[in-house]
Amino acid sequence: MRIILVSGPSGAGKTTVARLLAESGPSPSVHLHTDDFYAAIRQGALVPYLPEAHEQNRTVTGVIARAAAGYAAGGYHTVVDGVVGPWLLDAYEEEAGAAGVELVYVVLRPDRETALARGTSRSAHPLTDRAVLGRVYDGFADLGPFEENVLDSTGLTPEETAEAVLARR
């Protein structure tokens, strides 16, 4: 089994694509939405994009990575979506390696304007501030050796993006 980690900036379409991957892939399957793990913190939660949230983010990432590896090791097609830059990837690599499962890391990165337009138009999402969305996007602008993991989804439908993710095996 494997873990497909669908990452990218806010507004990239991660959740929609991850849901499609989980619902159309092999059965049984699991979709872990990282926002749900952050929302589970009831007191003392920090906004994840703030520098002072680093330790919180490491903790939450470790929890998600262990859950993903546990599901995958148990035979579940596991898809995770979230704002997971290379700076947090080590937790997933360690847990996948320990569980003996493959990790596929894909960064959805539409062009900046597309991501910002999508991000600011989400009425039910807590993060719609254009300046903050721009800073999050900038964190994914140059991923160095991880550029090979980038998928430009600017002109793709969610279904086409999901197909392109699967083609990257």
Where in the sequence is the domain holding 119, given as residue range(s)?
Answer: 2-167
**Total tally of structural domains belonging to the chain:** 1
What whole-number distance in Å separates Cα of residue 136 and Cα of residue 85?
Answer: 10
So what's the pLDDT on residue 127?
A: 62
pLDDT tens for the chain, residues 1 to 169: 899 999 999 889 999 999 999 999 888 999 999 999 999 999 999 988 888 999 999 999 999 999 999 999 999 999 999 999 999 999 999 999 999 999 999 999 999 988 888 777 666 655 667 678 888 889 999 999 999 999 999 999 999 999 999 998 6
CATH code, domain with 49: 3.40.50.300
What whole-number distance in Å separates Cα of residue 160 and Cα of residue 146?
Answer: 22
So what's the pLDDT on residue 165?
A: 96
Pull the structure tokens for residue 162. 């999901």
Query: What's the Cα-to-Cα distance from 27 to each of 22, 39, 64, 72, 115, rounded to whole Å?
Result: 9, 27, 21, 12, 31
So what's the pLDDT on residue 125?
A: 56
So what's the pLDDT on residue 122?
A: 63
Q: Is 88 exposed, middle or buried (0-12, 13-18, 19+ CB in 10 A)?
A: buried
So what's the pLDDT on residue 133?
A: 80
Instruction: Specify the pTM.
Output: 0.91
